[in-house]
Amino acid sequence: MVVSRNVLVLTVGLALGVGCSNPPAASDPSTVNAPPPPAPTPAPTTPPETAPAPPPSADAQAGTTQPDVTTSTTPSAPAEAPLTDEQIVAVLDAANKKEIDEAQLAQTKAKNKDVKAYARVIVQHHNDAKAKQAKLVKKLGIAAADSDKSKQLATETQQAVEQLKALQGADFDQQFVQLMVKDHQTTLDLIDRRILQDAKNADLKAMLEKDLRPTIEKHLKDAEALAQKLGPAGATGAATGATGAGAPGAASGASTTAGAGAQGGTTGAQRAAGAQSGNQAGQTGVTAGSPGGQGGVQPPAATPAAGAGMK
């Protein structure tokens, strides 16, 4: 029994010794100290395309003022230099001369008595204005000096007189009156907008305001009234009345009268019928022609004797 116990103890001791003498299994250094695997690199992605901004709507464009980038290449007209008192005197002399030269021509060529009377007043008043101005200028010691404006008026005077010389009768009357309207309106504007602004001498300015300007304004109103009396169409209307719409109508009536009367037949009754037809056609021609000739030369009435005189 003792032997068996000793054997058992010995066996157990050996077993324990063997177990303690076996070293633990060495761990795999590649697995113990290896760094962690790197994180997977994400696949490259294409950045999303940015859609272009839509064009602004018409309403947005209308509400936005675009800067003006256009550069004008047309040079602006230079401002007119102020007139000196000496230049103002020359301009007034030229304006008076223009009215006088045109009105003197009308005194000899005008046919309408009212036009003649108006021309006579123009000559008288503007000669008086010249005399008053000459007296004042002598007192003030101012010598007239030409300017572009006074030279322009001199040129316009020569052109206007030549145009009037080429006209006769009602055409002349109409053209002259319309020229008076234009001349006096131009002079009045020149006085108001420039001469009174530029004049330095108090006496010269007083003469303009108290004497010359009221006279020019009265002449303008009289010319406008006379133009209305002769015909609202003025010179153009007179020319139309004499040679345009009015004249063909009258000529047509007269021609029809003569033609219908002369060709009315060989018997007295036929000739009388032809004359009556001619008179009616002539009246039609006068009626059709009168609007264009209003204020101008009235066409003569049709003469019935062209066809009815013979029996």
CATH number at 103 reads 1.20.1260.10
- Residue 30: pLDDT band (50, 70, 90) is very low
> Domain tally for the chain?
2
Residue 100, CB-side half-sphere exposure with 13 Å CA sphere: 15
Q: How much is the average pLDDT of 31-60?
A: 52
Q: Which residues contact 274 (CB under 8 A, 6 or more apart)?
A: 260, 261, 262, 263, 264, 265, 307
Confidence of residue 32 (pLDDT cuts 50, 70, 90): very low
pLDDT of 165 higher than 60: yes
Mean pLDDT in residue range 85-106: 97
Do residue 141 and residue 179 come from a single domain? yes
> Does the pTM of the predicted model rise above 0.95?
no
Q: Is residue 145 part of a domain?
A: yes
For 149-178, the DSSP string reads HHHHHHHHHHHHHHHHHT--HHHHHHHHHH
Domain assignment of residue 3, yes or no: no
Structural domain that includes position 217: 85-230
Mean pLDDT across 106-134: 96
